[in-house]
Amino acid sequence: MQYLLRSVNILPCCFILGSSVLLGQSELSVFTATGRAASTTFVEDYQAIGINPANLGWKWRHEGKHVAFGLLEGSYSVHSDAIGRSDIRGRILNSAYSFTEAQKEEAGRQFADAGAIANVDLMLFGAAVTSDKLGGFGFQVRDRMQVSSRFGPMASEIAFMGYRSDYFNLLVLATGDTISNYANMSPDSIALIALGIATQPQLLSKVLDGSHLRASWYREFNFSYGRHLVRNDDLEIDLGIGLKYLLGIGIVDISSANGQASGFTAITSSLGFDVESGERQPDAPPVSSAILSPKPAGTGFGVDLGLAMLIGGKLKVGASVCNLGSITWKGNVYTAGDGSLIDLATNGLENYDLINGLEDFVTNTGFLKWETGMRTKRPLPSSARFGVGLLAGERIEVGAEVVAPLNQEPGNLERAAFGIGGDIRPVPWIQLSTGISAGGGYAMKVPVGLTFIVGGGTWEAGFASRDVVTFFTQRNPTLSLSMGFLRFRI
């Protein structure tokens, strides 16, 4: 079981590769779209891949350019509805931070029916070629990593308080004595506790009810094509398709709802973990090497389908369904059944490092009963989107969209997301973006973005944040950054 949580802990390492900082975002790694809260009717060339492949059929805004390519465009975000912005800065990003007993109790209350979401999306390479007659062709390689966690009330208390939770009515001390669990215990007495025992144990499916931990990491190779069916001064209709091959590097899906607990994990063997001990093998290759060229724990195929319309040269309409398909996980696969939580040999999380801290919690509770499986086929995190946009001259464009998850697979949005926003180019070489977004498991956000455009679109670079309000308020923070500096057209 220790192996499972160590597997999850590898996922944030990709964040270091992607943006040197650390679940699914609607605009992927498109730094030009992050700041406006909508992307369905805005993106073009290779940035349309994975969003709406039909947009590849559009004529580009920068006339005379027929080839676009980019390297290392990336995005990340971290959001929590349980803690404030100062907690993220002073407690989560501070690896030396440690809870007091009172702070553990506070954290247990804060995370009851609350959680956190993290996303990392890195486009390693993208390119597109357009032709008035043949349409647009695009290719992209990207890594996508998402983590989503949520605690039910009882799970939150036990995770942070450990054997000091009221769930355990007896405590076994290091001296061999057994005492009753009681409030206001002195630090010296707490230091003697070795084990908490519940004389009326409950199934883990009940203890963890309302909780989940989901994570996924896969590498995608996507070839997309879009072309107009109709094109005249009054109407343009474009259709698009994207075909993708996926390397599944890691997945975790643990949840409990309505009395049913389930769990599943698979992780690449390239990371060199010993299945029994959960430790990295001495002769394992460096983590950086495993990240750059991992042996997949699963492979699969997916399809994106899109429709785009331009009415009267001003009104845009777009719709797409993305990530239809599946991955067959066949390396280091484990599935789970239910069990009872009788005792616990940990004093709970010491800080907000949930991934590392949950390792002790899971290992010491015997969290579910894991059995090796040969292979498991899982759907991709599919989603549908619809957007409308309006071109208001050469310098202003506005739009709105809704993105809805079609399943609850790891890496998908928790619920439908909505956004409205736009771009303004006060001068030809600067694009300012902003908007409002809500849903998807996040609180309402106000994104902002700045893009520099050089040589009539020959080179673009910029950065954006998903929520500028985070810098002025404490609750429901979303720390994020989207950036790209190597985007070119010729």
User: Which region holds residue 455: left if phi is over 0, alpha if psi is between -120 and 50, else beta?
Assistant: left
The larger pLDDT score, comparing residue 28 to residue 349, is at: 349
pLDDT value at residue 17? 29
pLDDT value at residue 204? 79
pLDDT value at residue 23? 39
Mean pLDDT computed over 138-153: 88
The larger pLDDT score, comparing residue 106 to residue 386, is at: 386
Which range among 273-282, 301-310, 350-359 shows the weakest confidence by mean pLDDT?
273-282
- Could you give the 3-state DSSP secondary structure of residue 269? helix
Query: How far is 53 from 312, CA to CA, in rounded Å?
Result: 21
* pLDDT higher than threshold 90 for residue 134: yes
* pLDDT higher than threshold 80 for residue 288: no
Per-residue model confidence as pLDDT tens digits over 369-425: 556 656 788 899 899 999 999 999 889 999 999 999 999 887 788 789 999 999 999
pLDDT value at residue 16? 28
Q: Within 10 Å of residue 78's Cβ, how many Cβ atoms?
A: 21
Q: Is 371:338 a contact under the CB 8 Å cutoff?
A: no
pLDDT value at residue 317? 97
Q: What are phi and psi of 417, to 5 degrees?
A: -120, 145
pLDDT value at residue 108? 83
pLDDT value at residue 139? 97
Query: If 0-12 CB within 10 Å is exposed, 13-18 middle and 19+ buried, where does residue 340 land?
Result: middle
pLDDT value at residue 51? 94
Query: How far is 227 from 354, CA to CA, in rounded Å?
Result: 46
Six-digit token pair at 112? 């009851």
Where residue 18 falls among pLDDT bands split at 50, 70, 90?
Answer: very low
Contacts of 1 (CB under 8 A, 6+ apart): 362, 363, 366, 367, 368, 370
With the C-alpha atoms ordered 469, 471, 473, 475, is the resulting torsion angle positive or negative? positive
Q: Is 119:25 a contact under the CB 8 Å cutoff?
A: yes
| Residue ranges of domains in the chain, CATH in brackets | 2-85+117-146+214-334+372-489 (2.40.160.40)
Q: Is 3:206 a contact under the CB 8 Å cutoff?
A: no
Pairing of strands 383-391, 114-131: unpaired
Which range among 17-31, 276-290, 410-424 shows the weakest confidence by mean pLDDT?
17-31
Six-digit token pair at 381? 């995190």
pLDDT value at residue 449? 93
Contacts of 481 (CB under 8 A, 6+ apart): 19, 21, 75, 76, 77, 463, 464, 465
Mean pLDDT computed over 272-294: 59
Mean pLDDT computed over 88-94: 57
Mean pLDDT computed over 109-132: 86
Compute the CA torsion angle 431, 397, 484, 226 (nearest 10 deg).
-150
Where residue 58 falls among pLDDT bands split at 50, 70, 90?
Answer: very high
Nearest to 278 by CA among 291, 290, 265: 265
Where residue 339 falls among pLDDT bands split at 50, 70, 90?
Answer: confident
Mean pLDDT computed over 218-242: 95
Mean pLDDT computed over 52-72: 92
Where residue 351 falls among pLDDT bands split at 50, 70, 90?
Answer: confident
- Could you give the 3-state DSSP secondary structure of residue 290? helix
* pLDDT higher than threshold 50 for residue 1: no
Six-digit token pair at 60? 């580009």
The pLDDT mean for the chain works out to 81
* pLDDT higher than threshold 50 for residue 225: yes
Six-digit token pair at 433? 């973006």
The larger pLDDT score, comparing residue 213 to residue 369, is at: 213
Give, in order, the Cα–Cα distances in Å from 248 to each of 120, 377, 474.
Answer: 15, 11, 36
DSSP β-bridge partners for residue 309: 237, 317
Where residue 337 falls among pLDDT bands split at 50, 70, 90?
Answer: low
Give, in order, the Cα–Cα distances in Å from 377 to each of 4, 81, 329.
Answer: 19, 32, 6
pTM over 0.85: no
* pLDDT higher than threshold 50 for residue 20: no
| 215, HSE (Cβ side, Cα atoms, 13 Å) | 24
Please identify which residue in the block is written with the tokens 């349980």: 82
* pLDDT higher than threshold 70 for residue 163: yes
Query: How far is 36 from 33, CA to CA, in rounded Å?
Result: 6
CA-based radius of gyration for the chain: 24
| 271, HSE (Cβ side, Cα atoms, 13 Å) | 25
> DSSP secondary structure string, 79-146?
EESSS-HHHIIIIIS-TT----HHHHHHHHHHTBTEEEEEEEEEEEEEEEEEETTTEEEEEEEEEEEE
